[in-house]
Chain A
Amino acid sequence: MLIDFLFELRARKLPVSTHEWLALMEAMALGLHESSLDGFYQLCRTLCVKDIALYDAYDEAFLAYFKDVHTDALRLTEELREWLANPRALEGLTDEQREAMAAFDLDKLRELFEKRLREQKERHDGGNRWIGTGGTSPFGTGGKNPNAMRVGGGGGRSAMQVADERRFREYRRDVVLDVRQIDVALRGLRRLGREGAEEELDLDETVDQTCRNAGEIEVVFRPPRRNRVKVLLLMDVGGSMDPHSELMSRLFTAASRTGRFAKFRSYYFHNCVYNSVYEDAQFRKGIPVADLLAHSDRDEKLVMVGDALMHPAELLDPGGASFLYSQNRASGHEWLRRLAAHFRSAAWCNPEPERFWTGTTIEVIASVFAMWPLTLDGLAQAVRYLVRGGERPRVGDPSKWMKAMIS
């Protein structure tokens, strides 16, 4: 029966492997789930879910899978717990009965209990009464020795209640990003190489040279390994980007940490890139994009951040720059294409939720730049793409949409 739960978990993108599942089976054979749903919730989570970001998905899967079992098992546990805590129920027993009960060993007891549980699931009516009235049932003995037959985790809340609370929702990967998380995601953006001052002892070379030197020690140093990735960050600010400003500043904080990249530059643009990008968010110090390209290595990684949302004319028409005194002869679309063509690897991170992408200028821009949503997952994928290349995500069908706009 539990194998379905494995597939329920996997269907929710929880990476549970056979390895972990077998460990769970082994643990259950050892009785580590304490023969209760609560215990199983805990056990399965510690063994199969290794990431706090996935806890919420686990809770969901657990809820979905055990929702029918829930009421029964819960009632049973509660009932039993109450019963066990109430020794008065045993007072009416004769010595003979007591002796007969003592004869049950633990395994037998559990076996019986599980059997009862199964039977009770089949009989959905008065299940709790069923065990409750069994004053002389083996579980009466359990009541006398509560340690021998532990039912439930002993804590206050049941697994279903815990799962239902969905305490781990905020840890989900697809929601918020703080500086640290961005930091972690950006750590993938690296290519190590040895450059700079020689300050690390190169042991192999030292041994080699010393041997060549007939045992006269020759110490050799080499430069330590450093990240050689260069990053150019272009950020959209103002207007429709205002709601995302907090997120943008976090991204900037994480990206601009000293020593992260061999070279890091960042510029601002508004809406779309036209003739110039700007050093400041007030758009006072402009730098022509042509100059920027001339001074940029093709190996630099270009990271564009913006919502890519604008009026189609702002993107597609020459002279579409809605802004300040700039007059663009080439359309924004054209400028973006030039940028994308210059750099070997470029990616666009979009803070706009993915469900709003279709039918907007985002589709057009996503056909120029590989685009991911600015979430932990999206950022990680963008980083992977920048370092290793790979397939670009497809976003809608821009050609269809553009034709419709023109006609």
Chain B
Amino acid sequence: MSDVFDQFQGTASYIASEELRHAVNVAVALARPLLVRGEPGTGKTLLAENLAGALHLPLIRWHVKSTTKAKDGLYVYDTVARLHDSRFGGTDGANVRDIAKYIKLGPLGEALSAPSRVVLLIDEIDKADLEFPNDLLHELDVMRFRIDETGKEIVAAERPIVVITSNNEKELPDAFLRRCVFHYIQFPNRELMSEIVRVHHPDITDRVLDNALEVFFGLRSTPRLRKKPSTSELIDWICALKKAGVDLGRVSGGIPFLGTLLKTEQDVELVGKRAKA
């Protein structure tokens, strides 16, 4: 087995399932972008952070917004600033003729121009316009781009490890999908979940953990819930319980700090009704 494989085994604070580890290692070995999907709160974004940590590589984040354009990720040519400087003169005596001064690299541009290998996180790619992923195809394929304004060509010294997350909000184009390694993060089962909680709350006792998970998975199985509580919410909730010193085993009449688990009025109402019945 080549030694490039099995580089990622999860970290002390991030428990990855066997399947996820495999997908990550395949993506790293094949130098293809890893596309991660899954319910909100299953740690898609954290994966990139921990992957960077585990491999001791710098992490560059690109948080995609609904207005993000693919080109912004490469570089932005600040025409307005140049226009301003040409009219009023730069504050620090900037040379207006030097276009390179007004070129600002975006996250993808930074990742490609980095001197060594980096991990690039493209977070929530589905938030942007439908065509956004297509516009990135070429750059992600060849890992190089050209700054038109200066004619400078930027080529990645080493192909960055690209982690792309998506909330499944939008269909991604086929041509884009073809180039990715795909993994869907399943909601953790009880065993994995107790492992995850232990990482964040190492001092938790078995009994408390059992009780908390009982309540948590009970809540998740409630039918017609609008937003099921996720891992991050469970961890917050246990934190709140610990801070307040509440013993779940002894509490009667409703779940304490329900607000950390359920985020809509309807859900709180629904769970309240079911508890009474």
Kindly name the residue among B37, B171, B182 whose own CB sees the greatest number of chain A CB atoms within 10 A: B182
Judge whether A20 is part of the interface by a CB distance below 8 angstroms.
yes
Given contacts A31-B2, A46-B22, A50-B177, contact A210 B83 (CB under 8 A): yes
Closest chain A CB from B125 CB (angstroms): 13
A72 in the interface (beta carbon within 8 A): no
Q: B18 — nearest CB in chain A belongs to which residue?
A: A155
Question: With A52-B37, A153-B18 in contact, is A203–B30 under 8 Å at CB?
Answer: no
1/0 per position for A129-170, CB-CB distance to B under 8 A?
Answer: 000000000000000000000100111000000000001000
Interface contact B5-A32, CB-CB below 8 Å: yes
A-B CB contact pairs (8 Å), 9 listed: A19-B179, A30-B5, A46-B181, A52-B184, A155-B18, A184-B170, A187-B170, A206-B83, A207-B83
- CB of A15 closer than 8 Å to a CB of B: yes
Contacts of B266 in A (CB 8 A): none
**CB within 8 Å for A26 and B1 given contacts A17-B178, A55-B184:** no
List of A residues within 8 angstroms of B186 by Cβ: 167
What string of 1s and 0s marks CB contacts (under 8 Å) between B178-193 and chain A?
Answer: 1111111010000000
CB pair B26–A27 under 8 Å, yes or no, is yes
Q: Is the CB of B1 within 8 A of A31?
A: yes
A46 CB contacts on chain B under 8 angstroms: 22-23, 26-27, 181-183
Q: Most chain-A CB neighbours within 10 Å: which of B1, B19, B25, B130?
A: B1
A43 touches B22 (CB 8 A): yes
Chain A residues, Cβ within 8 Å of B26: 27, 32, 43, 46-47
Q: How many residues on the A side are at the interface (Cβ–Cβ under 8 A)? A: 41
The chain B residue sitting closest to A35, CB to CB, is: B1
Q: Is there a chain A Cβ closer than 8 Å to B92's Cβ?
A: no
Task: Judge whether B30 and A51 touch: CB under 8 Å.
Answer: no
Bound state CA distance, A155 and B182, in angstroms? 20
Chain B, residues 186-224, CB within 8 Å of chain A (1/0): the string is 100000000000000000000000000000000000000
B29 touches A32 (CB 8 A): yes
Task: Scan A63-85; emit 1 where CB is below 8 A from any B CB, else 0.
Answer: 00000000000000000000000
| Least distance between B189 CB and chain A CB atoms (Å) | 11
- Given A52-B168, A207-B79, CB of A215 within 8 Å of CB of B87: yes
Could you say which of B1, B19, B37, B183 contacts A150, with CB atoms under 8 Å apart? B1
CA distance in complex: A20, B170 (Å): 22
Say yes or no: is B86 at the interface (Cβ < 8 Å to chain A): yes
Asked if residues B171 and A184 are in contact (CB atoms below 8 Å), the reply is: yes
Contact between chains at A42 and B19 (CB < 8 Å) = yes
16 further interface pairs, Cβ-Cβ under 8 Å (given A42-B23, A187-B130): A19-B178, A20-B178, A26-B30, A30-B2, A46-B23, A47-B182, A49-B182, A50-B35, A50-B178, A51-B177, A52-B37, A52-B168, A155-B18, A167-B186, A183-B169, A201-B80
From A179, which residue of chain B is reached at the shortest CB distance? B226
Chain A nearest Cβ from B13, distance in angstroms: 22
A-contacting residues, B64-119, CB 8 Å: 79-80, 83-84, 86-87
Contacts of A32 in B (CB 8 A): 5, 25-26, 29-30
Chain A residues whose C-beta falls within 8 Å of the C-beta of B168 in the assembled complex:
52, 184
| Contact of A203 (CB < 8 Å), options: B1, B35, B80 | B80
Report Cα–Cα, A370/B174, bound state, in Å: 26
CA gap between A19 and B32 in the complex, in Å = 12
The 6 lowest CB-CB distance pairs between A and B, nearest first, are: A50-B177, A155-B18, A50-B182, A46-B23, A52-B184, A42-B22
Contact with B along A187-216 (1 / 0, CB 8 A): 110000000000001010011001000011
Interface residue? A106 (CB, 8 A) = yes
Contacts of B170 in A (CB 8 A): 184, 187
| Alpha-carbon gap, A27 to B30, bound state (A) | 7
Report the minimal beta-carbon distance from B12 to chain A, rounded to whole angstroms: 20
Partner of B22, one of A106, A153, A206, A217: A153
Q: Which of A31, A180, A203, A217 contacts B5 (CB 8 A)?
A: A31
| Residue in B closest to A17 when the chains form the complex, CB atoms | B178
Asked, given contacts A50-B177, A52-B168, A52-B184, whether A154 binds B18 with beta carbons under 8 Å apart, the answer is yes
The reply to whether the CB of A373 lies closer than 8 angstroms to some CB of chain B is: no
Name the distance in Å between A75's Cβ and chain B's nearest Cβ.
21
How far apart sit A32 and B2, CA to CA, in the bound complex (Å)? 9
Q: Which of A19, A47, A207, A216 contacts B181 (CB 8 A)?
A: A47
Known contacts A30-B5, A154-B18: A217-B177 contact under CB 8 Å:
no
Check if B83 sits within 8 Å of A217, measured CB to CB: yes
Q: Please report the C-alpha to C-alpha distance between residue A19 and residue B30 in the assembled complex, in whole angstroms.
A: 13
User: In the complex, what's the smallest C-beta–C-beta distance from B255 to chain A, in angstroms?
Assistant: 25
Contact B174 A15 (CB under 8 A): yes
When distances are taken between beta carbons in the complex, the residues of chain B under 8 Å from A26 are: 30
Question: Which chain A residues lie closer than 8 Å to B171 at the CB level?
Answer: 184
Interface set, chain A 1-41, CB cutoff 8 A to B: 15, 17, 19-20, 23, 26-27, 30-32, 34, 39
Q: Which of B13-49 contact A (CB under 8 A)?
A: 18-19, 22-23, 25-27, 29-30, 32, 35, 37
Query: Per-position contact with A for B147-182: 1 when CB-CB < 8 Å, else 0?
Result: 000000000000000000000111110100111111
Q: Cα distance A154–B19 when bound, in Å?
A: 11
Distance between Cα atoms of A203 and B130 in the complex (Å): 23
Interface centre among A50, A155, A180, A210, by most B CB within 10 Å? Answer: A50
CA distance A46 to B80 in the complex (A): 44
CA distance A153 to B29 in the complex (A): 17
Contact assessment for B22 and A39 in the assembled complex, using a CB-CB cutoff below 8 Å: yes
Which residues of A sit under 8 angstroms from B23, Cβ to Cβ? 42, 46
Picked from B22, B29, B79, B179, the residue with its CB within 8 Å of the CB of A30 is B29
Residues of B within 8 A of A42 (CB): 19, 22-23
